[in-house]
Amino acid sequence: MKIGLVVRLIVLLLLLAFLVSPQSFAGFFTLLTKNNQPPIYNQGSLLDLTLNHLAIVGIATLAATIIAVGLAILVTRPFGAEFLPLSRSLANIGQTFPPVAVLALAVPMLGFGTAPTLVALFLYGLLPIFENTLTGLSNLPSAVTDAAKGVGMTGWQRLLKVELPLALPVILAGIRLSVVISLATATIGSTVAARTLGEVIIAGLLSGNTAFVLQGGLIVGALAVLIYDALSALERFLMARTGQAGRAAA
Q: Which fold has domain 47-241?
A: MetI-like fold (1.10.3720)
Residue 139 is classified by DSSP as S
What would the DSSP string read from start to end of 19-69?
Answer: HH-GGGGHHHHHTT--TT--SS--SS-HHHHHHHHHHHHHHHHHHHHHHHH
CA 116 from centre of chain:
17
Q: b/e per residue, 107-128, with b = 16+ CB within 10 A?
A: beebeeebbbbbbbbbbbbbbb
pLDDT at 157: 85
Task: Report the percent of the chain where pLDDT is more than 90.
Answer: 60
pLDDT tens-place string over residues 46-88: 999 999 999 999 999 999 999 999 999 999 888 888 888 888 8
pLDDT at 232: 92
Long-range pairs for 179-182: beta carbons < 8 A, 24 or more residues apart? 179/57, 179/61, 179/125, 179/227, 179/228, 179/231, 180/224, 180/227, 180/228, 181/124, 181/125, 181/128, 182/57, 182/60, 182/61, 182/121, 182/124, 182/125
Specify the range with the lowest mean pLDDT, choosing from 41-45, 97-101, 125-129, 158-162: 97-101
199 vs 49: CA distance, rounded Å: 8
192 vs 115: CA distance, rounded Å: 10
3-state secondary structure of 109: helix
Specify the range with the lowest mean pLDDT, choosing from 39-43, 107-111, 188-192, 238-242: 238-242
pLDDT at 48: 96
Average model confidence (pLDDT) for the chain? 89
Task: Report the percent of the chain where pLDDT is more than 70.
Answer: 96
Residue 141 is classified by DSSP as -
Q: Residues 132, 174: contact at Cβ < 8 Å?
A: yes
Residue 250 — very low, low, confident or very high, per pLDDT cuts 50/70/90? very low
Question: Torsion-angle region of residue 37: left (phi > 0), alpha (psi -120 to 50) or beta?
Answer: beta
Phi, psi of 208 (to 5 degrees): 70, 25
pLDDT at 249: 40
pLDDT tens-place string over residues 128-184: 999 999 999 988 887 887 788 788 788 788 888 889 999 999 999 999 999 999 999
pLDDT at 61: 96
* Residue 223: pLDDT over 90: yes
In angstroms, the first-to-last Cα distance of the chain is 19
Q: Hey, where are the domains in the chain?
A: 47-241
